Structure 1
Amino acid sequence: MQAKELKEYISQDEDRLFSVLQASGFHDIWKASSGEIRCATPHGDNKTGVMIKVDPDLYTAIFSSDYSGDLLGAIQEVMDTTFSDVIVFVHNVLGIATNSQSKTKIDPLGELKGLAAKKIKRDRKSNKKYSEAELGAFIHLPYKTLIEEGISPKVLDQFNICFDPKLNRIIFPHYDWEENDRIVGIKGRTIQTKEELELTGTPKYWNYLTGYKKSHNIYGYNITKQYISAYSNIILFEGEKSVLKEYTFNKGKGCSVALGGHSISNEQVNFILRNVPLDCEIIIAFDKDVMTKEEEGEQFLIKEAMKFRPFRKVSYIFDKYNLLDEKDSPIDKGFKVWQYLMKYRKEVK
């Protein structure tokens, strides 16, 4: 059988899928839902670390190595062998005759070597972690412009928002998505007007910690993780202030995070899929300019949403009736407009 036929054949019988997974070294295999299988990698102990979609494509994600593709590719990943050898291997496991003359040659230490190499690669990507002592130079006091925008002082305190009197910047601490008491980024937003910025050449944003990779973290997850189950959804905004406004609307118990931009990285996708419940809807709430740009627009929103679609219900907010201004976040026009946009969000099928 060719690869496509082989995947379809496996997907038609759960016992075949389980046999292939077990023979490949995956373990702690269980049904997360009627259309999704979870298990651990051969040398891992996370029973939710691998997801397989039970469909003709057998879409598979391995979170420990950031792999996403089909099951055959996942087997190749953990065995550290060639794709043609994987095809022969799976045929043998299922007792299917093959005319291929190639023999499966698997280095018994290959997987360990591969995982070690990937761990080194991941470690290089990780953000450096700091203690809250890094905030010692700032004033722990909510700045008036944020309150004037409708963000409650209680929420500003909840997210540890500070002010830098030396550089006149509002400080947004970014806490690590796994070690929630550790800081990985300190983002400072100037209080200068647009005209003042142009005259002085001052950057609007300033990162106080060099090397911070926004694509390897999610702002606000350290707080939001405790409320996701109650809402059964998680809202993905671009910026920190949108998260603060959503929390204000919900009296300090929100369900939103900020990505730091409008492109969702593979690391962010994998982290979200790994950490939110199976029944959690992922809602993309990007700024109005993303909806209207010729090179982006609605098709871009759908493309970003599809990064989650094999495993979760996902939707996006689209301002069909132009309720927002050009640079607005979907939550910037107040509670009623936000509720309307949420109610008529579009699900990606």
Structure 2
Amino acid sequence: MQAKELKQFLLADKDRIIKVMAQAGFHDFRSQSNELRCALPDGTNPTGVMVKYDDTLYTAMFEIGYTGDLFGALAKIMNFGFSDVMLFIHGMFGIANENNNIGMIDPLSDLKKLANGTYYRNQEPNKLYNPNVMDKYIHTIHHSILEEGIVPRVAYHFGIAYDPYKDRILFPHYDWVHTDKIVGIKGRTTQTAEEMDITGTPKYWNYITGYKKTQNLYGYNIAKDNLDACKMMILFEGEKSVLKQFSYEQGKGCSVALGGHAISENQVEFILKHVPNDCEIVLAFDKDVMTNESEGEPYIKEQVKRFLPFRKASYIFDKYNLLGEKDSPIDKGYKIWRYLLKWRLKV
């Protein structure tokens, strides 16, 4: 789709706009009749961003002085070029991109790009921090982590901590290249959904401004040492799914988290560059992606195909409705997880 057509597609179902922005990290959405308000990825002001429900999708990010359209706002926040924003949105909804000039593509271009090391798009790496940035927080395990079936030694290995002032569980994200450096700290509130609604508390809080999850993979710093033995890398959406998989495998897990169900070009290219050739890539998206009318199995298959033919690739699909409507494939316990993994669908 052209940009104008894509805007009309998003406007046809306003939830699509929210879905796209949520993947970029925006939060605290408040949809009105003629506009959408929300907070910046690193912000707390739920009216700090405005998107007009008009043909231009006029967008203003007041706190950083941006005015333009939604695509420009996404490019600024995600550090993407315009073409990558278009690919990002097309990929989310499984839309064929008619502007890709298929006949002009060099079938070996990806291999050439990987071979010479020029595999990052719009590369502006995340800022690196020493692990001592976590020293100001309490290195303890909140009871909710244990109640989810995550064993203490795995939580400690991943550096899980707690911020008593904001009442948040902290997940440090280590860089995928400089694996001894922290690039992001994601804080998840311990409040219930009802409490968050009453207090206006965002579910997640980014403690490091400017962290680009699209240029990293949570847990890769630990999982990389197990990939040769596992012959598999599992791509989950969230951090807790990774912690559960490592718990089930007694610390020898082989999973990472994308931070959502959109896979950036940088993430695809990093995996093709760094993951062993005999390693199968397994997509394990949450149940709501499997059942979403605008995504579903066709979207998941399209994401799987991005790793072909360079890697074996497959995906988990809950055809017998074993999961809750928003569950990760690993949320219902070891037995169901092993069943779903065993009967994953190969492409």
TM range (shorter): 0.5 to 0.7
1:66 deviates by 3.2
For 1:195-249, what per-residue CA distance to the aligned partner results, in whole angstroms no more than 9, with x for missing partners?
0000001000000000000000000000000000101000000000000000000
Q: Which residue of 1 aligns with 2:119?
A: 66
1:58 deviates by 3.2
Residue type at the aligned position of 2:108: Y
Q: Residue 170 of structure 1 aligns to a residue in which SS?
A: strand
- Work out which structure has the larger RCO, using CA pairs closer than 8 Å and 6 or more positions apart in sequence: 2
Residue type at the aligned position of 2:174: Y
**Any conservation in 2 of the 1:163–1:171 contact (CA below 8 Å)?**
yes
What's the TM-score, normalizing by structure 1?
0.67
Q: Would you say 1:227 and 2:280 are equivalent positions?
A: no
Q: Which residue of 2 aligns with 1:329?
A: 328
Q: Residue 186 of structure 2 aligns to a residue in which SS?
A: strand
Q: Residue 171 of structure 1 aligns to a residue in which SS?
A: strand
Residue type at the aligned position of 1:257: V
Q: Residue 257 of structure 1 aligns to a residue in which SS?
A: strand
Q: Residue 109 of structure 2 aligns to a residue in which SS?
A: strand
Q: Residue 65 of structure 1 aligns to a residue in which SS?
A: coil
CA distance in 2, matches of 1:200, 1:212: 26
Q: Which residue of 1 aligns with 2:189?
A: 190
1:57 deviates by 6.4
CA distance in 1, matches of 2:204, 2:307: 30
CA distance in 2, matches of 1:315, 1:174: 26
CA distance in 2, matches of 1:202, 1:225: 35
Q: Residue 332 of structure 2 aligns to a residue in which SS?
A: coil
CA distance in 2, matches of 1:155, 1:282: 23
**Any conservation in 1 of the 2:183–2:211 contact (CA below 8 Å)?**
yes
Q: Residue 226 of structure 1 aligns to a residue in which SS?
A: helix
Gaps of 5+ in 1: 1-55, 68-117
**Any conservation in 1 of the 2:119–2:270 contact (CA below 8 Å)?**
no
Q: Residue 329 of structure 2 aligns to a residue in which SS?
A: coil
For 1:150-181, what per-residue CA distance to the aligned partner results, in whole angstroms no more than 9, with x for missing partners?
10001000100000001000000000001011
Structure 1 moving runs of 4+ over 4 Å: none
Aligned length: 239
Q: Which residue of 2 aligns with 1:151?
A: 150
1:60 deviates by 2.5
**Any conservation in 1 of the 2:139–2:159 contact (CA below 8 Å)?**
yes
CA distance in 1, matches of 2:214, 2:232: 21
**Any conservation in 1 of the 2:219–2:256 contact (CA below 8 Å)?**
yes
CA distance in 2, matches of 1:201, 1:171: 19
Larger-gyration structure (1/2): 1
Q: Report the aligned-residue RMSD.
A: 1.4
CA distance in 2, matches of 1:242, 1:136: 25
**Any conservation in 2 of the 1:59–1:310 contact (CA below 8 Å)?**
no
Q: Which residue of 2 aligns with 1:304?
A: 303
Gaps of 5+ in 2: 1-104
CA distance in 1, matches of 2:119, 2:273: 11
Q: Which residue of 2 aligns with 1:199?
A: 198
Give identity over the alignment, percent: 58
**Any conservation in 2 of the 1:66–1:266 contact (CA below 8 Å)?**
no
Q: Residue 304 of structure 1 aligns to a residue in which SS?
A: helix
Give the alignment of 1:230-241 within 5 angstroms.
230-241=229-240
For 1:293-312, what per-residue CA distance to the aligned partner results, in whole angstroms no more than 9, with x for missing partners?
01100000001001101201
Give the alignment of 1:257-276 within 5 angstroms.
257-276=256-275
CA distance in 2, matches of 1:153, 1:294: 38
CA distance in 1, matches of 2:332, 2:320: 13
Q: Residue 228 of structure 1 aligns to a residue in which SS?
A: helix
